Structure 1
């Protein structure tokens, strides 16, 4: 039995909320943009269409979460990482699917949370204006305590992922927290008070400077257990002036967005199959966790300002995943997890769920790779 665990991000934006009704129109969900997508070039696979699970609504069809869990577990996915949107001042969005899951023990897949601590701006969510839709705020100890107390029933659930009796808790941009030491101390102390041995933090976005440091010294000082980086955020694989080097730099700017998206008028298009054949994965330290992605095409959300990986197929995805597994096996002291982005980010063309073109093949890749371990 493999010790390597595969965890997939889970997006809950598949039910209407008043805020999305206001920003995008009544009844908006992730499917709204997916359905209206158009091909932007010859043989561009758009609109993508779900098959087995259909255009589900997580609140109107609670049984979907049971089916998702069954599909995932049958095909080698060991857990979901639910995106969790807490903006400060006890304001949350899209929290109901996780709350529904907590009550329904038939949804038997292990899970944890990723606090997506980022201000929502129109420019990043498909609008042509840079206005703030909802701001991420950080308001000190009392609010961190309130947030932890909201999370505690999830942490105590038998399905919640624990590492050495510590709840695994991802934070999208840990470095953005202005009083980081306070935040970590509050969560750590409250976790211990609740009967755990602390909180197991994973930061999903760390600056280049910090990535190359000996983080056993640096991140240990703030209680950071583990972090991972998406592959393209690592050091450059190709010479900067080469064609591949220029493409890699463009990808970096997209995956860690700059203001350039506001002025771009045509999509960035790269070849997924060629890219994975050139991957040369090296772990920078012993706290690194790989993040892999089967596909990416966010044109349903961003239109001509999108990033598109053409030729993303299950066969190419398998090469990508196998490379990540091989590197992890060469680093047995690193955390034995591979993070998959994502289970169901359909408007970014980034998903494992069955679609009309490939059916269950995205998922079967994980099963095949896992069985070969």
Structure 2
């Protein structure tokens, strides 16, 4: 029997990506879509690329009857998301795509996001949604917190290495490039075509990016000691995609072998041959992440490159992967579509 699915915040990029993925899912049916400013419109009017689908009209959240909904995706901004989720039925399974439930420490959340957490009970029950590392907890979770797209990219490259003790924990640099869709659909002056195209710009320089909270939390938990990485993201004039170049101190062949062993049975994580590196072109529109390792010219140092699509594996695809587990469905259902190229 097909599972009934609701998406809150369906008029944003991650909401539209969820609709795209679920539209061909063999075991899910979209029964409710919400949007505040665009309530009353057809989804095809908001996103013409989806006009061929038979979808429910966009409505306000308080118009949705959740009694027959099996799982709800919450694709709302942080702060809004926690307020909404606290009021949803306690029996409802939820995958949240915002930042509101990623950090387990309420003080850390307030420090990184600038406002106190108002849904502490839900925060404590939330399971971190990096599927490959929290799979068993996700299967029995009621609330799963999707990771940040940048945070997911860095963690795929580094978690197995930290756990294996394969790299120097005090010598980690993450240099990451991301497309403009990662900033959401709201109008922002610096994302206008005339200001973003034909250039590249670092931002959140000096350790102010909020996804550092996830790196601190997850890497320190694995290592059993404080781990702080250097991380600088850059905005590139492309619609979607992330590529991270990560510099570590450790034997390059051991780094490659450790990652290859960790991911040999993972359906969405592709390790390239030693010396090869991926491109955002190779993962665009898909739930795959590609990883490559090469040696640096300095002995004892390795360079790891990880590429993924921020809207799919970094957000909506990851969310669907988690939802499949929560509903007892095949983990890869609706997600094995090949990347778009060129």
* Category of TM-score, reference length = shorter chain: 0.3 to 0.5
